[in-house]
Amino acid sequence: MDSSLNLMTEGSVWKKIVFFAIPVFIGNLFQQLYNTADSLIVGNFLGSNALAAVSSAGNLIFLLIGFFSGLALGAGVVIARYIGAKDHVNVEIAVHTTVALGLVASVIMTAVGVGLAPAILRLMDTPAEVLPASVTYFRIYFMGAAGFVMYNTFVGILQAAGDSKHPLYYLIISSVINIVLDLLLIAGFHMGVGAAAFATAVSQLVSALLCMIRLMKSKEDYRLVLRQIRFHGPTLGRIIRFGLPSGFQNSIIGFANVVVQSYINYFGEMAMAGAGAYSKIEGFAFLPITSFTMALTTFVGQNLGAGDYERTRKGARFGTVCSLILAELIGVVIYITAPQLIAAFDHTPEVIAYGTDRARACALFYCLLAFSHAMASILRGAGKAMVPMLIMLAFWCIVRVSILAVSGMLFRTIATVNWVYPITWSLSSVAFLIYYHHFSFEQSD
């Protein structure tokens, strides 16, 4: 038997969640590291204009990639349920249907990303002096979209089986590749922002190939056999039913962030660079919380598949409390050290000021963001992905965009853009708390 199969239906609740979350955290740390390496190296070697170009493309990338990442989450829930129920036949069917879906998604993502980049970036009011570099970065990134989409697809399968260690090993390898290529192409050969996108695309493809090889060599039910990759109608329907709300949720958040980015763009490239630097810091800061929430989805999925409702409740409580405590501790550190952290990306005083203002508006409210993510992960694992989608559509998109639209007509300040995040995190947390108070795992699908 393959020792990577980690049944979360047995043993200590807290150990299962923590020991699953730790490799996820380290892996996400390396993934964030190679994403941030682009910004650090671009900002220090190519200047604020190039950093602004990379930053402006980031939210748009999440908008497009996030949808298919959500589908991968739904597939992971389906596979985790079957593993928890020890339904060997359906585990095999779900794995190969998931991979088929990922391959189709890769083709779509490449075509959309490469073809629509200029039009979408113009709609975001990307400044003329930044637009050419943004388009170059965006197009090259999406030429390698298959690597990112398939990596998320393969990792979703491995994590559904409780294997969070091997994705970590592969991310470490790809992170090193990305940083070496960044330094070689940008610092060594003085190439532009396109080189940063190329380095990221290559590193993502390597991690996807390593994950695929791991799945092909597995002795468990989730083993990948290339000739068996095909769509199975009922299973595809179940994956879409679980994953489509998560995909829309990611796209909704991505769309709202694109709108926010367009408001940031109004204040010029210094604001764009400062906000972009802060977003990289927030990405690092939130990794421990994201790791717990990913563990929660797998834990809830497997234990509901096994029909153990009390164990599911215990795991949900533990994971949520840990996420809240970690988030607030990290938020305090970010609040205090914000100027020094922003300066690592760009020493321009104006960039540091914009980034610090953003950090100090958001950091002390990380606990609210953590609570919303924890609740969303628990509900996704319980097959209720529609609920977080609707809550985040209401508050992280409609309310967030409405606040910016109204304030834009009355007074347009960067402070309004900064504070729209903690305001909408607060509202979504209240909505999740009310829903979860009346929720029952026994009645979940």
Cα separation, 204 vs 150, in Å, equals 9
Please count the CA atoms within 13 angstroms of the CA of 149 that sit on its side-chain side: 27
Residue 442 is given by DSSP the state G
Q: Quote the tokens at residue 143.
A: 């030429």
Those residues with Cβ within 8 angstroms of residue 110's Cβ, 6 or more apart along the chain or in another chain: 142, 143, 145, 146
**Six token digits for residue 112:** 């959309």
Specify the pLDDT at position 421: 94
Q: How many C-beta neighbours within 10 Å does residue 216 have?
A: 11
Q: Are 117 and 140 in contact (CB under 8 A)?
A: no
Instruction: Tell me the per-residue pLDDT of 95-105, one tens digit each, with 9 for 90 and over.
Output: 999 999 999 99
Determine the pLDDT at residue 1.
43
Q: 401 with 254: CB under 8 angstroms? A: no
Which pTM does this prediction carry?
0.79
φ, ψ at 162 (rounded to 5°): 85, 10
Tokens of 237: 């329907």
Task: Give residue 444's Cα distance to chain centre.
Answer: 25
Rounded Cα–Cα distance for residues 254 and 271 (Å): 19
Task: Name the residue type at position 86.
Answer: K
Residue of 185, 133, 173, 193 whose CA lies nearest to 34:
173
Spans of the chain below 70 pLDDT: 1-6, 34-35, 37-38, 55-60, 63, 444-445
CB 372 within 8 A of CB 434: no
CA–chain centroid gap for 6, Å, is 23
Question: For residue 317, what are its two tokens?
Answer: 């409580």
pLDDT of residue 365: 97
What pLDDT was estimated at residue 34?
65
Question: For position 292, what pLDDT does the model report?
Answer: 87
> Is the CB of residue 288 less than 8 Å from the CB of residue 27?
no
Q: Would you call 384 helix, strand, or coil by DSSP?
A: coil
